[in-house]
Structure formats: C-alpha cells, structure tokens
C-alpha cells in the first residue's frame, strides 16, 4: 500500500459530517461515539427483527412478507443412468448426433448367429442393442462366474481346433448374450482367452481367463461345439447351464472318429496323390506314400517321447527326401523330385497359414503374428530335415536337377481324381465328420478344375490362378457352412490341399542345398506368394458370401436341426 492509503482512515473509522462543533457537548451514545448518516433518529420507533441476527442485512436479502420455497437438499449420489432433475418430457434437450451419423444396426433372425455376433463385436459397447435373454428361466438368472467359465471352455475348444480369432470371439459373445450378459468383452490371443463382464458403469467388472496349452485339429469336436453354440443362440431351444456343461463334457470325452493307423494311411494317400499331381507315375505314387507313412510313424514316436512339434516336423520330412535321393542314386528311372514334393504336401501347415492371414485381415494382429511365427518354425523344421538329406545326397553323387520342371499329367481326368483323393486324405487327417468328407472332397476337385482352367488353358500366372481357385473354395465352403449352420473349416481346409506350394518349396530347398542360393530364394519366394494367395483367396471368398449372399432362415434352421437329429 502507498503512504496516502496508509494515512486514509478506514471505513469503520470515518467520522460523520453531522458531528457538533468543538465546544458543544455531544449526546451520549451507548454503543459508539460515531453514528452513520443512515442511523434511525431518536424518538422514531422501529420494530427490531427477532433472533440473534445482526441489524445490518445484505441487499440480496429476501423482503419480509415474500414467501420463497426453501432450497432442495443436495441430490444424493446415485447411478449415472438416473434422469436429471431438470429434464422435462415436454421440452427435452436437443439430442446429439455424431458428424458421421448414427449407424443403423440390423440384427435379423434370418442370418446365422456368427454374422449377428460379428456385427455386435465390431460395434462399441455403448452402441450395442440390448440383448434378448434366451436361456434365462428366472428373474435372477444364472451365476455370472459360471457363465463366464462355460464361455471360456467353449472358446478353448474352438481355438484349439484351429478356428480363427474373430470366430472364437463371436462364439464366446453368443454364449454370454444367450444368458443375458450383454456388457461383455471377449479377448482372444494365440494362447490366452479372457472375458470381462461389467453389469453397469457403477458396478465392478468380473474378469476371467483361460490358457490354451495344446492345439490339435479335430473338426468333429469343432462341429459339436458349433452345434452347442447354435442351440444356445436359438430362441426355440432352451438349454440350461447344467445341460450345457453336460454336453460340453461329452464333447471333450468323445474319441476321434479315425484311428492312428487310419491317419497314417491317409498321410500315404495324400503324398501319393500329390506326387501324381506333379507328374508322377505308379512307382512314384508308391514311393511317396511309403515315405509319408514312415515320416508319420516317426513323428508319432517323437510325440510320444514329448519332443516339441518343431522336431516332429524335422523328423517327418526326412523319409520322403531319403527315398527320393535313394532312387536317384540307384539310377531308377523315376522323378525323385515328385517323390520329395509329395512328401512335403503332407507336412505343409496349410490351415495354420490360412488362419494366420485371416486373423491379420480381420484386425487380430497379435494372434496373426503368433500363428505366422508358428508356421515359420514348422517350415524351418521341414527345411532342416529336407536340406540335411539333400546335402548328403549331393555328397553321394545324386544328380538332382533343380531345373527339372514338374508338369502335371496331360490327362486332366487323372489329375482331378488325384486332387479329390488328396482332399479326401486331408479331411481324414483333420478328423472331420464322415458327413462332411464328401463335400470337402468335391470342393477340392472344383478348386483344381478352376486352377487348371486358368493356369494351363488360360495361361494366367500360377499365383493369380491359385488365388481365384482358393476364393472359390472359400465361397463354396462358406455357403455349405451357412446351409448347415456350422463351421466353414471342414469344407475349406481340406479343399485347399491340392493348391499348396509343394513343388516350389522343394526346388527352393534343392537350390540352397546345391549352393544356388539366388535360384533357391526365388523359388521359396514363389512358394510364399502362393501360400499368401491361398490364404487371401479363402478369406475373400468367405467375406463375399457373408456380404452379398443371404442363406439361412428360421425355417431352414429348424429343417437343418431335424436332419441332424435335433
């Protein structure tokens, strides 16, 4: 403060201008010697307010005689979904509309549950429509932890059976919504399943997880799990939580439909058929079949000893390559390259590759990276086994010609029969239901016809021809799956067997073994391009069928259930 302000008297020390002059006695004041010009003159009676309130009041005080409603007490803490006290139904506030508009959601009952759940999963939680509980029999509903546990167990079987991450999440979401749990978020990675359920914004979430330790392709079990999820999602089939647990336990206890020796014979048939596709004869068919069966038995032996799958693939790749090198050293007039190529067909992880690319295309990049890394390790194991045998064969003087192009037999009927036999063997190896083996076999024959028409007759590049043929496989497989309300894997995985890049893989490995690294890497790059074309084609065909073709209705669903015995 300045000196002038310090000398200035404060407001309560100011003196009135009506004070008597000096020498005149001032009247005695009981309270203070100074009075305000607003003081009440003496002799004027003014009613004093009752109570202990001070005589001075604010200019904002309510005048006497005016009734004012007392202010309401502070609103107690409640849910965020309570209607505001200032809300009026007659004059509601303007609604907020996003700049890009509110998306229209169509969840009709005439489409499979996979499409409905996939549409829901691709929406934010706050924009999902309310569920219609299908399996709730009382007001309380089932226990939330038990529903989450059932959901995780179903997702574990699907993921272990080779299903894609998005389809696993769709199945888990369908199970939760069937029991009234709508605010749930499933999360699927390569080895971990997790799901979180939050009743409302003010309640604590419930989270559960489960780890997938082992993966084995069993499409019979996969179809049974899909049937269970289909029944849970159907409003006409009431399945209690105890019944769902019982059926899930039966699915786990079911034995594989084919024995171990049947799988070994299927491996031999697959390798022999693949050798015929690349120009082999009867002797090549027998040699490739024997090599594949020996490799399968060695892989079973390694699995029984607890060795990882990497070493199982390495060991399984050596017998076909050894037989091919032995025939070359013995100067037998056969195509040794066709024998080795047929053995590679039985080992290439086609389904894992397709699943990895599909997860990447649908946005599951972590799972896609893990699947592709697994495929890379399997491929490195196959490379190690074949390269070891080829290296010793070159040292022994085997004249393996990497420039010897493998050509198919000029008789197309024989090639079509070989492609169908290959798909049949592949379906048996995948433990498919017997009712789906025929359709998968026919789908594989159609794929080879399309590839031959485009590549051989039309002169189109092998990569483009493979992509189109794989797209036809994915389209037909998705149509068959929608007709039966089942998974599309049994109809697509076995059908892509004839399209796998076995010959390009062999020539790449042979070039590396003979120190022709440039040519070898070029052949391996072609093999990778063919594999990517297969994966993208299958996924594109499936997406086209989902977008533009509507097959399925409540009547067809009931008819399909009757044909399956339900």
**DSSP string covering 372-440, please?**
HHHHHHHHHHHHHHHHHHHHHHHHTT----TT------S-HHHHHHHHHHHHHHHHHHTT--HHHHHHH
Contact 279, 456 (CB under 8 A): no
Q: Residue 29: what pLDDT?
A: 54
Residue 34 lies in a domain: no
Report pTM: 0.70
DSSP symbol at 229:
H
Question: Taking Cα atoms as reference points, which of 378, 220, 396, 218 lies closest to residue 308?
Answer: 378
Give me the residues paired with residue 561 across strands: none
Kindly list the averaged pLDDT for each block of 10 residues, start to end, along the chain of length 566.
Answer: 52 53 59 58 60 56 64 52 55 55 51 66 63 54 84 91 86 86 85 87 83 83 89 80 90 82 90 85 89 91 87 90 85 79 80 80 86 86 85 73 53 87 90 88 91 87 89 86 78 86 74 76 83 84 70 44 40
- 359 and 249 in a common domain: no
Residue 76 lies in a domain: no
- 271 and 415 in a common domain: yes
List CB contacts of 118: < 8 A, sequence separation 6 or more: 166, 170
Contact 313, 387 (CB under 8 A): no
Name the token pair of 522.
């070029």
Kindly report the average pLDDT of the chain as a whole number.
Answer: 76
Q: Residue 155: what pLDDT?
A: 92
- 397 and 278 in a common domain: yes
DSSP symbol at 38:
T
Question: Taking Cα atoms as reference points, which of 548, 565, 540, 561 lies closest to residue 485?
Answer: 561
How many domains would you assign to the chain? 2
Residue 502 lies in a domain: yes
Contact 381, 314 (CB under 8 A): yes
- 287 and 232 in a common domain: no
User: 180 in helix, strand or coil?
Assistant: coil
Contact 350, 534 (CB under 8 A): yes
Residue 79 lies in a domain: no
Among 229, 253, 277, give the residue marking a domain's end: 253
- 322 and 412 in a common domain: yes
Name the token pair of 247.
């059926």
- 501 and 448 in a common domain: yes
List CB contacts of 194: < 8 A, sequence separation 6 or more: 186, 187, 207, 208, 209, 210
> How many Cβ atoms from other residues are within 10 Å of residue 30's Cβ?
4
Contact 557, 485 (CB under 8 A): yes
Q: Residue 497: what pLDDT?
A: 84
List CB contacts of 173: < 8 A, sequence separation 6 or more: 117, 120, 121, 184, 186
446 is in which domain, residue-wise?
A: 260-563
**What are the angstrom distances between the C-alpha of 518 and each of 184, 400, 508?**
52, 17, 9
Residue 372 lies in a domain: yes
- 347 and 245 in a common domain: no
- 388 and 426 in a common domain: yes
- 316 and 377 in a common domain: yes
Q: Residue 140: what pLDDT?
A: 56
- 453 and 516 in a common domain: yes
Ramachandran assignment for 239, one of left (phi > 0), alpha (psi -120 to 50 degrees), beta (any other): beta
Residue 11 lies in a domain: no
Strand order in the sheet with 184-188: 184-188, 192-197, 206-211
Residue 93 lies in a domain: no
Residue 84 lies in a domain: no
Q: Residue 554: what pLDDT?
A: 44
User: 208 in helix, strand or coil?
Assistant: strand
- 123 and 197 in a common domain: yes
Among 199, 229, 253, give the residue marking a domain's end: 253
- 283 and 207 in a common domain: no
Cα separation of 208 and 186, whole Å? 10
Among 227, 253, 279, give the residue marking a domain's end: 253
Q: Residue 160: what pLDDT?
A: 87
Contact 520, 510 (CB under 8 A): yes
């Amino acid at each position: 403060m300045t000196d002038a302000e310090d000398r200035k008297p404060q407001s309560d020390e100011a003196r009135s201008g009506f004070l008597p002059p000096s020498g005149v006695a001032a009247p005695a004041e009981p309270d203070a010697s100074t009075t305000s010009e607003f003081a009440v003159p003496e002799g004027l009676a003014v009613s004093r307010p009752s109570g202990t309130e001070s005589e001075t009041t604010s200019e904002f005080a309510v005048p006497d005689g005016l009734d004012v409603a007392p202010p309401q007490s502070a609103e107690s803490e409640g849910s965020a979904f309570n209607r505001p006290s200032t809300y009026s139904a007659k004059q509601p506030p303007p609604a907020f509309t996003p700049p890009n508009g509110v998306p229209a959601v169509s969840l009709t009952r005439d489409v499979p549950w996979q499409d409905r759940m996939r549409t829901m999963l691709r929406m934010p939680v706050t924009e999902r429509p309310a569920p219609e509980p299908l399996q709730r029999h009382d007001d309380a509903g089932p226990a939330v932890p038990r529903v989450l546990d059932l959901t995780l167990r179903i997702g574990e079987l699907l993921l272990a059976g080779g299903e894609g991450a998005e389809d696993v999440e769709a199945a888990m979401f369908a199970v939760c919504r069937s029991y009234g749990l709508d605010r749930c978020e499933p999360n699927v990675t390569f080895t971990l399943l997790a799901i979180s359920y939050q009743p409302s914004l003010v309640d604590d979430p419930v989270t559960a997880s489960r780890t997938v330790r082992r993966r084995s392709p069993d499409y019979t079990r996969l179809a049974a799990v899909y049937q269970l999820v289909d029944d849970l999602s159907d409003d006409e089939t009431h399945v209690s939580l105890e019944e769902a647990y019982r059926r899930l336990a039966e699915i786990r206890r079911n034995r594989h439909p084919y024995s171990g020796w049947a799988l070994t014979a299927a491996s031999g048939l697959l390798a022999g058929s693949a050798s015929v596709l690349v120009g082999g004869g009867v002797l090549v068919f027998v040699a490739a079949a024997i090599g594949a069966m020996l490799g399968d038995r060695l892989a079973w032996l390694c699995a029984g000893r607890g060795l990882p799958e990497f070493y199982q693939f390495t060991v399984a790749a050596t017998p076909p390559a050894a037989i091919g090198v032995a025939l070359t050293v013995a100067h037998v007039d056969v195509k040794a390259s066709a024998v080795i190529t047929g053995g590679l067909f039985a080992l290439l992880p086609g389904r894992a590759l397709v699943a990895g690319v599909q997860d990447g295309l649908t946005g599951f990049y972590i799972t896609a990276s893990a699947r592709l890394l697994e495929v890379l390790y399997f491929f490195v194991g196959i490379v190690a086994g074949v390269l070891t045998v080829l290296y010793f064969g070159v040292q022994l003087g085997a004249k393996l010609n990497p420039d010897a192009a493998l050509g198919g037999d000029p008789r197309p009927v024989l090639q079509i029969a070989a492609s169908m036999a290959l798909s049949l063997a592949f379906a048996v190896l995948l433990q498919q239901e017997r009712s789906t083996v025929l359709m998968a076999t026919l789908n594989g024959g159609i794929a080879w016809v399309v590839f031959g028409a485009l590549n051989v007759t039309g002169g189109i590049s092998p990569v483009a021809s493979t992509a189109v043929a794989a797209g036809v496989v994915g389209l037909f497989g998705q149509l068959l799956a929608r007709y039966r309300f089942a998974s599309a894997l049994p109809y697509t995985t076995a059908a892509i067997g004839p399209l796998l890049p076995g010959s390009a893989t062999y020539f790449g490995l042979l070039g590396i073994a003979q120190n022709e690294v440039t040519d070898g890497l070029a052949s391996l790059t072609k093999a990778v391009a063919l594999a990517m074309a297969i994966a993208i084609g299958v996924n594109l065909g499936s997406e086209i069928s989902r977008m533009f073709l509507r097959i399925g209705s409540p009547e067809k669903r009931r008819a399909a259930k009757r044909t399956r015995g339900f």
